[in-house]
Structure 1
Amino acid sequence: MPQFLFVYHGGHTPTDPAEIEATMAAWGAWFQNMGDALDIPGNPVGQSYTVSDSGVVDNGGANPASGFTVIKADSIDVATEMAKGCPMVVNGSGSVEVAEIHPIEM
């Protein structure tokens, strides 16, 4: 079954204990709802750097990543439907970029 990369953009790190608990519960429920489709839960990420032939920029680009997940789905349409349930999408604080992972045989 194809794998898809979810790259999260936006959101924020909660600091209030009640907000932390609610945020973790929302993500846990979403992951649980995906069941066996959840392949690699992933993690939030820190500041990103953009590396190109002209050097390194520490601003993360126009839309820096804030985390990632890898799922399995029959198609990109199914994967994007799953992404609609992301807590950051549901609460309007961020977005999810969905891309199919193409395996390379070595």
Structure 2
Amino acid sequence: MTKYLLAYHGGKTQMSPEEGQQHMQKWMAWMDGLGDAVVDRGIPVSNTVTVSSDDVTEGGGANPLSGITIIEADSQEAAIEMTRKSPHLDIGGTIELAQAMDMPM
């Protein structure tokens, strides 16, 4: 099995308490449905900055990071199929899928 990083970008940030609760219920159902494929449920993030060798940009740029998750899948295609069911896509967000590299460190 190969590990994949899901990097969540954007998405609706202003929700009513009811909308937030509904989204969280969908999120938890999706996570639970992934079962053993979930290596690390990850964390949501906010207040992003982009750091370069000569500058720090507030706000994370045009498509700021909003969270991460790590999953395992037999193939990139299988990981994509799991990712397509994420409720993050329903709130206007995108998900960057990246294959983890096994490197001795």
After TM superposition, the score normalised by the length of structure 1 is: 0.89
1:26 partner SS: helix
Counterpart in 1 of 2:66?
66
Q: CA deviation at 1:103?
A: 2.4
8 A contact 1:14–1:23 mirrored in 2: no
Match of 2:39 in 1: 39
SS at match of 1:40: strand
TM-score (norm 2): 0.90
Amino acid at match of 2:3: Q
Query: Retained in 1: the 8 A contact 2:48–2:58?
Result: yes
Shift of the alpha carbon at 1:54?
1.8
Aligned equivalents of 2:17, 2:57: Cα separation in 1: 34
- Runs of 4+ with deviation above 4 angstroms: none
1:96 paired residue number: 95
Equivalent residue number for residue 30 of structure 1: 30
The residue that corresponds to 2:7 in the other structure is 7
What is the match of residue 17 of structure 2? 17
Kept in 1: contact 2:7–2:97 (CA 8 A)? yes
Structure 1 SS opposite 2:23:
helix
Number of residue equivalences: 105
Following superposition, the deviation at residue 14 of structure 1 comes to 5.2
Gapped runs of 5+ residues in structure 1?
none
1:59-91 per-position Cα deviation (integer Å, ceiling 9, x unaligned): 3123111111000011111111111001021x2
Deviation at 1:25, TM superposition (A): 0.7
Structure 2 unaligned spans of 5+: none
Aligned partner of residue 41 in structure 2, secondary structure: strand
How many percent identity over aligned positions? 41
Letter paired with 2:50: T
> 2 CA distance for matches of 1:58 and 1:27?
28
